[in-house]
Structure 1
Amino acid sequence: MQKQVLIPTDYSKSAFNAIVYAFELFAEEDCTFHIFHSYFLARSAKGNVLFPEPEPADYDRAARLSGERMEWLKKKVGLLADNPKHTIYFDHKFGTLIELLEEKVMRDKIDLIVMGTRGITDDTKVAYGRNSVNVMENIRGCAVLAVPANVSYKKIGSIVFPTNFKTHFNKREMKTFVKIAQLGNSEIQILHIGKEKDLSERQRNNRKELENHFSEVKYTYHWLEHKGVKEGVLSFADQQNSGMIAFVNRKHWFFGSVFSNPLVKSLGVHSKVPILALHDTRN
C-alpha cells in the first residue's frame, strides 16, 4: 500500500528542502506526495474590525498569484522528480493552514506530514517558525516531520526517542516511525530521564508495549540520572550525533517545553536534526 505524504509549502527555501528530503527519504518506497499551499487574506478573518472585508478582486488576485507560484514550483520539482515509484499531486487553496491540513489529512488518509522548520521569513533568531510549531502542536491525525533548511538527507544512523513511559502509543503513527527507522537501518535509542528501578507497573507495561512496536528494528535503552528533561534530551542527541529526534507529543508538553528552550539554539540541535512528532492516542 502506498504511503501518503503531505508536504505543505510556502514556496520558501526551507519548504523546498523539505520536498527534496521527503523524496530522498522515501526513494525506495511507493509513495504519493501531496504538495500543498494555503493562502489567506488576513482581512477576511471574521470579526476583524480593523480592516474592511476584501473585495472579490482581492480574492481573485490572491488565487491568481498562488496559482502562478504553484506553476513555478511544479517546474522546479519536475527537474528532480524522476522516480517511477512516486506519484506527485500539487494543490493550493484559500483558507487557514491548520484547518486545510486537517481536512487533507482526513480526506487523503495522510500517513506523514513533512515540512520545513522555518518559513518564508526565515528568522534565524528562532529555531522553529510559527507554522511548524502550530502544525506539530495542532495536527493530531498523523505524524509530523520537521526538517531544517540546511539538512540534506543521508541515512540516519540513530534516532533518539525520549519517553517517560507514561504515554499511549498511536499504532498507526508508530508504524510510520518504524518504517522511517527501517529505511535507514537506524537504531532507535530509547532515552529515559530517571532510574530504571523507579518505573511504576504502568510504566513497565508501556515499556513492553513499546518493545512490541519496535520488534522489527534495532533499539537500545539509555538512562540518564540527575538531568532535567530539556538538558538531558538535547545534550544526549548532540553527544550521540543523532540523525533525528522522535517523540510522542502529549499536547503542549514536550515540544513547547523543550524545543522553545534557548538550549536548542546554543547546542545547534535545531539546525541539524529533523524532528518527528508523534501523538498520544488520548489527544
Structure 2
Amino acid sequence: MDKRILLPTDYSKNALNAIRYAQQLYAKVRCDFYLVNAFQASGYTLDSMMVPEPGERFYEMAKHESEEGMNRLLEILKLHPENPKHRFHTICTFNGLVEAVKNIVASKDIDIIVMGTKGVTASKARIFGTGTVAVMERIKACPVIAVPSEYVFNPPKEIVFPTDYKSKYKEKEIDHVKEIAKLHDSKINVVHIDRDKDGQLNKKEESNKLLLQDILDGTDYEMHFLTATKTSDGINLFVESKGGDMIAFLNRRHLFFGSILSNPLVKEIGYDPKVPILELNDN
C-alpha cells in the first residue's frame, strides 16, 4: 500500500502542522512525501510578459530563499523520530501554487495532497485559505486533505460522510475513505441531512443509498438520518455529538457549477473547519 503524498508548504506553522498530520495519518504505510514550495520573484507576476530567467538577480534571490526555507524545514523534521517507512523529496519551483501542484501530481503520480487551511498571510476572517480552496477547486486528479491550523493529530476513529443521495457513487471515489478507515479502525458515519423534514427518499435516492452500502460493505459503517434547516448545522451538530475526527465529502463537478464554493458544505463550514476535511473528487 505504498503512497505518494504531496505536501505543499510556504514554511508556515500551519503548513508544518499539516505535514505532521500526514506523517501520523500514514505512519504505518510506506510513503514517498514530496515537499513542494512554489516561489515567485519579487517584482514579477506569473501573468506578466516579463518572466525572470535562471541566473537573473531576482530569480536567484527568490530561489535561494526558497531553498534555504526547505533546508530549515528538513532540519525541523529531523528533530522527530524518523519513520523508516517514510522518504522525503524536496521540490522548489518558480510557479504559482496551483500550477506547481498540478505539474507534480501528474509527473510524480501523486495519490493524495495534504495541506494546511491557511498560510502565512491568512486572516482570521478567512480561515480556509485561498490557496487551499484553489487547489481543491482545480486539482481533479487526486483527493485533498485540508488540516485546520493548530489541529492536534487524533486518529480518525469517527469519519463523518455527509450525502444527499442525489447522485451515484463509484467505488474509486470512496477508496480513500475506506483506506483511512481500515488503517485506523475507523467507523464511517454516513449522514443524510433532510432539509425537507419529510424523511422520505425517492426511488433514485434509495437506489443510490443501496449502491453506497454495497461499496462500503466490509467496513465499519452506519447510516444516519438527521433533520436540519441547514446542511452545515446538521454536520456540525453530528461532529460535536459523535466526536467526529474527519469530514469526508465528494466534490461533484458540474458543468455550470464547477466551483467548490458552490458546495453548501464547504461554503458554510469549510471556512472554519474544526476537524480535517477530506475532499474527494468525482472521476
Q: Considering the TM-score relative to the shorter chain, is it more than 0.5?
A: yes
Question: 2:218 aligned to 199, 208, 216, which one?
Answer: 216
- Larger deviation, residues 211-220 vs 245-254: 245-254
Q: What amino acid does structure 1 have at the position aligned with 2:46?
A: A
Retained in 2: the 8 A contact 1:114–1:144?
A: yes
- Larger deviation, residues 77-86 vs 37-46: 37-46
Residues 255 and 39 from structure 1, CA distance in 2 versus in 1: closer, same or farther, beyond 3 angstroms? farther
Retained in 1: the 8 A contact 2:46–2:96?
A: no
Tell me the secondary structure at the aligned position of residue 233 of structure 1.
Answer: helix
- Larger deviation, residues 76-85 vs 156-165: 76-85
Cα deviation, 1:95-114, whole Å, max 9, x if unaligned, reads 11111111111221111110
Tell me the secondary structure at the aligned position of residue 211 of structure 1.
Answer: helix
Q: What amino acid does structure 1 have at the position aligned with 2:95?
A: G
Rounded Cα–Cα distance in structure 2 between residues aligned with 1:108 and 1:196: 48
Rounded Cα–Cα distance in structure 1 between residues aligned with 2:104 and 2:52: 26
Q: CA deviation at 1:157?
A: 2.3
Question: 1:275 aligned to 274, 277, 282, which one?
Answer: 277
Contiguous gaps of at least 5 residues in structure 2: 254-258
1:259 corresponds to which residue? Answer: 266
Q: CA deviation at 1:119?
A: 0.6
Q: What amino acid does structure 2 have at the position aligned with 1:78?
A: K
Equivalence map 1:180-195=2 (5 Å): 180-194=180-194
Rounded Cα–Cα distance in structure 2 between residues aligned with 1:253 and 1:71: 34
Asked if 1:142 corresponds to 2:142, the answer is: yes
1:177 corresponds to which residue? Answer: 177
Equivalence map 1:1-283=2 (5 Å): 1-41=1-41, 43-47=44-48, 56-80=56-80, 82-169=82-169, 171-194=171-194, 198-251=200-253, 252=259, 256-261=263-268, 270=273, 272-281=274-283
Cα deviation, 1:65-86, whole Å, max 9, x if unaligned, reads 1111111111111222511111
Rounded Cα–Cα distance in structure 2 between residues aligned with 1:215 and 1:122: 41
- Larger deviation, residues 26-35 vs 230-239: 230-239
Q: What amino acid does structure 2 have at the position aligned with 1:186?
A: S
Rounded Cα–Cα distance in structure 2 between residues aligned with 1:254 and 1:191: 21
Contiguous gaps of at least 5 residues in structure 1: none
Cα deviation, 1:33-69, whole Å, max 9, x if unaligned, reads 1111111246233357xxx765821111111111111
Tell me the secondary structure at the aligned position of residue 169 of structure 2.
Answer: coil
Q: CA deviation at 1:202?
A: 2.7
Q: CA RMSD in A?
A: 2.3
Quick one: percent identity of the two aligned structures? 34
Tell me the secondary structure at the aligned position of residue 91 of structure 1.
Answer: strand
Rounded Cα–Cα distance in structure 1 between residues aligned with 2:146 and 2:68: 26
Q: CA deviation at 1:233?
A: 1.8
Retained in 1: the 8 A contact 2:133–2:260?
A: no
Retained in 2: the 8 A contact 1:168–1:280?
A: no
Q: CA deviation at 1:125?
A: 2.4
Tell me the secondary structure at the aligned position of residue 60 of structure 1.
Answer: helix
Q: Count matched residues.
A: 273
Rounded Cα–Cα distance in structure 1 between residues aligned with 2:250 and 2:167: 7
Retained in 2: the 8 A contact 1:191–1:221?
A: yes
Q: CA deviation at 1:239?
A: 2.4
Cα deviation, 1:153-173, whole Å, max 9, x if unaligned, reads 122221110011123435434
**TM-score normalized with structure 1 length:** 0.87
Residues 63 and 170 from structure 1, CA distance in 2 versus in 1: closer, same or farther, beyond 3 angstroms? farther
Residues 226 and 95 from structure 1, CA distance in 2 versus in 1: closer, same or farther, beyond 3 angstroms? closer
Rounded Cα–Cα distance in structure 1 between residues aligned with 2:94 and 2:58: 12
Q: What amino acid does structure 1 have at the position aligned with 2:279?
A: A
Retained in 1: the 8 A contact 2:168–2:211?
A: no
Rounded Cα–Cα distance in structure 2 between residues aligned with 1:9 and 1:255: 26
Residues 18 and 175 from structure 1, CA distance in 2 versus in 1: closer, same or farther, beyond 3 angstroms? same
Q: CA deviation at 1:23?
A: 0.6
